[in-house]
Amino acid sequence: MSGSTSTRFDVIIIGAGPAGMAAALTARQLGLHTLLLDEQAAPGGQIYRNVLGVQPAVGTLLGPDYVHGGALAHALADSGVTAWFGALVWDVSAEGVVTGLRDGQSFQVQAPQLIAATGALERASPMPGWTLPGVLNAGAVQIALKASGSIPAGRVVLAGGGPLLLLVACQLLDAGAQVAGIVETSAADNRRQALPHLPAALAAPGYLLKGLRMMWQLRAARVPWFTQASEMKIEGTARAEGVVFSSGGRPRRIAADVVLLHHGVIPNTQLSRLMRAEHVWDEVQLAWHARVDEWGQTSLPGLRVAGDGAGVAGALAAEHCGTLAAIGAAHDLGRLSSVERDRRAGPVRRALSRQLRIRPFLDALYRPPQWINAPEADVIVCRCEEVTAARIREMARLGCQGPNQTKFFSRCGMGPCQGRICGNVVTQILASEIGRPAAEVGAYHIRAPLKPVPIASIVALTEFGHPTETAGVDTHE
């Protein structure tokens, strides 16, 4: 049942999205003995999911940004990097022992340098009706499209804000779905806040042009489009039947069979918080991210975070950060002098800074509306344990000073998702109820296992003890 490996790696990279793939390629080029782990069956991460196996017609409709990932994934396949797919990492000890599960086999590996490239998650959108069947995250539908070319049947309404909302709407239109409406929730003030950042964004006009093209496509398809929506709820008894909201000072309703919610993505910090690295609350992105230096180095020696986990900045920025983290790791391992490190990093930093020019504009334009993080009393916030917003506020009134006490007394965040979905909202509800900044209120402590694993795989580790010999894993580097 259990396996572990005595193979020595210089660096272990967790996550094979753009950040992880770029880190692995660079580490390998620099002569580091590299192991890349990802729970998905193939490289790609979120944006390039299934890029090597996608049906050609689906690849075409997903667009050139998606196809770009193919080059990265092919380079990885040809590089000789040891990559284990279907490998879920569910624990990393303070000493850096990485524990995971692959093909039903437990494994433990260790290296002096660890790069967490675990990406982003979609922000939760708690509102009345969001737990009804037929309500999904927009990203989830995109995953089904990339993985199997399938699209939802019936009238699809997309609600929320952010570039991914528009992208998914366009991709669904191209794939033949019936897009019945777009309901944007970004507040009126967002444009005013974003305006000062427009000149910097114009210096890298590619993203703005992409945005305009998507808007033009949706307008040309005559998709009903509402803006600055508030007081939103999803109606339905056994499943979603429609979205009601207020827009332009009037109450509205759009009939829907499927409702796709999206309020941007937030860093996936489960692993770096499990390891107790320092994190920072970002007041604009309204999310936690690991505190890192310019080489992705966290507060814990030997742990780096690259890509969206260190702050959401998009796929190309993630790629550059992955490269920089690998260069930093090689330097710390004594394989690169400071001069050589800085020489290699120079062009990557310039490319990264071009990618980052658009961020302040996008972050301000698509800052989630205040009401999405302050749900009504009877809205379920923790879906696993069915804890409502009212119960979380009650915990604060009874004296809970943060998410961990709230978890202890209410079971909020104690379910199988380990607070991945509700954590961000719980922090903000408590912050507003207690009257302290979210940064002070804090986040859930994360404990292993990061995701549900069979009990036998945990027992097997105790039977086998510390890493000994390779079993059931290919360590052919």
Query: Contact residues for ligand FAD (CB under 6 A)?
Result: 14-20, 37-40, 45-47, 65, 88-89, 117-122, 139, 142-143, 164, 167, 265, 271, 307-308, 314-315, 318, 450
What percentage of the chain's residues is helix, strand, coil (to nearest 5)? Answer: 40, 20, 40
Residue number, 37 or 127, with CB nearest to ligand FAD: 37
Kindly report the CA angle at 238 between 225 and 226, in degrees rounded to 5?
10
Nearest distance in Å: CB 85, ligand FAD: 9
Residue in 397, 399, 396, 380 with CA at minimum distance from that of residue 388? 380
Other CB atoms within a 10 A radius of the CB of residue 32 amount to: 23
List alpha helices for 225-337, DSSP H: 270-274, 315-332
Nearest distance in Å: CB 45, ligand FAD: 2
The burial of 69, by beta-carbon neighbours within 10 Å (0-12 exposed, 13-18 middle, 19 or more buried), is given as buried
Residue number, 234 or 325, with CB nearest to ligand FAD: 325
Residue number, 162 or 242, with CB nearest to ligand FAD: 162
73 contacts: CB under 8 Å, gap ≥ 6: 21, 42, 43, 44, 48, 51, 52
Residue number, 263 or 407, with CB nearest to ligand FAD: 263
Nearest distance in Å: CB 4, ligand FAD: 17
**CA 282, CA 311: separation in Å to the nearest integer?**
9
Nearest distance in Å: CB 323, ligand FAD: 12
Nearest distance in Å: CB 290, ligand FAD: 12
Nearest distance in Å: CB 166, ligand FAD: 11
Residue number, 315 or 461, with CB nearest to ligand FAD: 315
The answer to whether 444 and 274 have CB atoms below 8 angstroms apart is no
List alpha helices for 275-422, DSSP H: 315-332, 338-356, 359-365, 389-397, 403-410
Residue number, 51 or 387, with CB nearest to ligand FAD: 51
**CA 97, CA 94: separation in Å to the nearest integer?**
7
| 3-class secondary structure, 298 | coil
440 contacts: CB under 8 Å, gap ≥ 6: 431
Nearest distance in Å: CB 314, ligand FAD: 5
Residue number, 302 or 307, with CB nearest to ligand FAD: 307
